[in-house]
Amino acid sequence: MKNNIKVQRAIKNLTQQQLAELMGVSRQTINTIEKGKYVPSTVLALKMAKIFEVPVEEIFSLEDEDWEK
Amino acid sequence: MKSKLLLPAKFRIPGLALLLVSVTGICFHFFGDYEPDWLQLPVFAIFNDMALAGKSSWFSVINDNIFGEICSVGIIVGGLMYAFARLNEEDEFTTRMRLDSLMTATYISYGFLLFGVMFIYGFAFLNWMAFHMFSLIIIFIIHFRFSLWKWRKSSYDEE
């Protein structure tokens, strides 16, 4: 799965720390999600969408590997 | 989702202190046969199997040096407190890391057990089992803490 959290943060002028505080997670977790090393839960993804004021699909998108078993 | 099974964060430091003191004690006990005389006390035993004396009993009071037992309880309780106390930055990712570490520790711990069952015999096997009593929690703590350190170090760069 890929994401454009960094772009969305830039649009909203949010640092990782600020986004982390709004979402109730650590800055390191935001960093890990942004680098694509961790897929967040539905709750976190929806929170992010709410903060960025965009649909979830504009932040996260599936790749071909995600369909493999 | 937040885990309801984690202990409050304040358990972490006392847990670590208890664990370290107890591990030190059990090392003195195991390698140096250290047993203070004043801990030779009557204790209640649900089951006592004095194999060497050829007799056993249920629900009896026996005389035993409880230094080893105190250290063992300290390792178990201290280890659980330290292992499962909330982190300051506890969230779903650290919970996931905790689960991964628990699985890894289980694999390694039972690997040790398999090795012991297949290749170690006699009284040495009893000692191996004694080590195995604590191996799961100790390996979990080491693996989880190392994973945390690596993660914090790698995600240090802020953008």
Q: What is the pLDDT along chain B (159 residues), one digit of tens a residue?
A: 566 789 999 999 999 999 999 999 999 998 888 888 899 999 998 988 875 566 788 898 888 889 999 999 999 999 999 999 999 888 899 999 999 999 999 999 999 999 999 999 998 998 899 889 999 999 999 999 999 999 988 866 555
Q: What's the domain range around A38?
A: 2-63
Q: What is residue B37's predicted lDDT score, i.e. its pLDDT?
A: 87
Buried b (16+ CB within 10 A) or exposed e, B78-110: bbbbbbbbbbeebbbbbbebbeebbeebeebbe
Is residue A69 in a domain?
Answer: no
Q: What is the CATH number of the domain that holds A55?
A: 1.10.260.40
Q: What is residue B51's predicted lDDT score, i.e. its pLDDT?
A: 57
- Identity of the residue in A24, A29, A43 whose CB atom sits nearest the CB atom of B93: A29
- In chain B, the residue whose alpha carbon lies closest to the alpha carbon of A24 is B91
Q: What is residue B106's predicted lDDT score, i.e. its pLDDT?
A: 96
- In chain B, the residue whose alpha carbon lies closest to the alpha carbon of A6 is B159
Is residue A15 in a domain?
Answer: yes
pLDDT tens, position by position, A26-60: 999 999 999 999 999 999 999 999 999 999 999 99
Residues belonging to chain A with any Cβ–Cβ distance to chain B shorter than 8 Å: 6, 15-17, 24-29, 31-35, 38, 40-41, 43-44
Q: What is residue A65's predicted lDDT score, i.e. its pLDDT?
A: 83
Q: What is residue B54's predicted lDDT score, i.e. its pLDDT?
A: 67
Interface contact flag, B94 A26, Cβ < 8 Å:
yes
- Identity of the residue in A15, A28, A41 whose CB atom sits nearest the CB atom of B151: A28
d(CA B128, CA B133): 9
How many domains does the structure of chain A reveal?
A: 1
Is residue A68 in a domain?
Answer: no
Is residue A26 in a domain?
Answer: yes
Q: What is residue A9's predicted lDDT score, i.e. its pLDDT?
A: 94
Q: What is residue B2's predicted lDDT score, i.e. its pLDDT?
A: 61
Q: What is residue B49's predicted lDDT score, i.e. its pLDDT?
A: 82
Is residue A41 in a domain?
Answer: yes
